[in-house]
Amino acid sequence: MNKYCTLVIISVIILFISCENSITESDEIEENQILENKLYAYFDSLQVNTPVPGIVAGIWSPNKNLEWVQSFGYANLEEGIPMSSNLKFRIASNTKTMTNTILLQLCDEGKISLSDTLSQYLPDFPKSDSVTIQMLTDMTSGIREYMESPKINEWLSRDPGIYFPLDSLISFASSLKYYFSPGDGWHYSNTNTLIIQKIIQMITGNSLKHEMKTRLFEPIGLTKTEYLSSGVKIPIPHSQGYYSGDTTEKPLNLTEVYNISLTHGAGAAVSTIYELKTYVEHLVNGQYLSEEMHEHRLNHLVEPPEIPLPINYGTGWMEWESFYGHDGGFPGFTSLMVSNPKTNTTVIFWFNCQLTDYSVLDSFAKVYNILYSDNLSKYYHPNISTGNFQIHNNP
pLDDT, block means (10 residues), the chain with 395 residues: 52 50 60 93 98 98 95 98 98 98 98 98 98 98 97 94 98 98 97 98 98 98 98 98 93 97 98 98 98 98 86 96 97 98 97 96 95 64 54 53
pLDDT of residue 8: 47
- Global pTM reads 0.90
Phi, psi of 49 (to 5 degrees): -100, 10
Give a yes or no: residue 5 inside a domain: no
Give a yes or no: residue 23 inside a domain: no
Instruction: Give exposure, 185-211, as e/b (b: 16+ Cβ within 10 Å).
Output: bbbbbbbbbbbbbbbbbebbeeebbeb
pLDDT of residue 263: 98
pLDDT of residue 32: 87
pLDDT of residue 28: 61
139: left (phi over 0), alpha (psi -120 to 50) or beta: left
pLDDT of residue 386: 58
Give a yes or no: residue 19 inside a domain: no
pLDDT of residue 30: 83
pLDDT of residue 19: 47
Torsion of CA 65, 317, 209, 256, to 10 degrees: 80
Question: Cα(64)–Cα(31) distance, rounded to whole angstroms?
Answer: 8
Q: Report the domain count for the chain.
A: 1
Of the candidates 315, 333, 334, which has an alpha carbon nearest to the alpha carbon of residue 325?
A: 315
pLDDT of residue 239: 98
Give a yes or no: residue 25 inside a domain: no
pLDDT of residue 373: 85
Give a yes or no: residue 310 inside a domain: yes
Give a yes or no: residue 15 inside a domain: no
Q: What CATH number corresponds to the domain at position 101? A: 3.40.710.10
pLDDT of residue 176: 98
Give a yes or no: residue 371 inside a domain: yes
Give a yes or no: residue 32 inside a domain: no
Question: Cα(172)–Cα(296) distance, rounded to whole angstroms?
Answer: 32
Phi, psi of 323 (to 5 degrees): -95, 130
pLDDT of residue 306: 73
**Residue 183 is part of which domain span?**
39-379
- Cα of first residue to Cα of last residue in the chain, in angstroms, is 90
Cβ count within 10 A of residue 385: 24
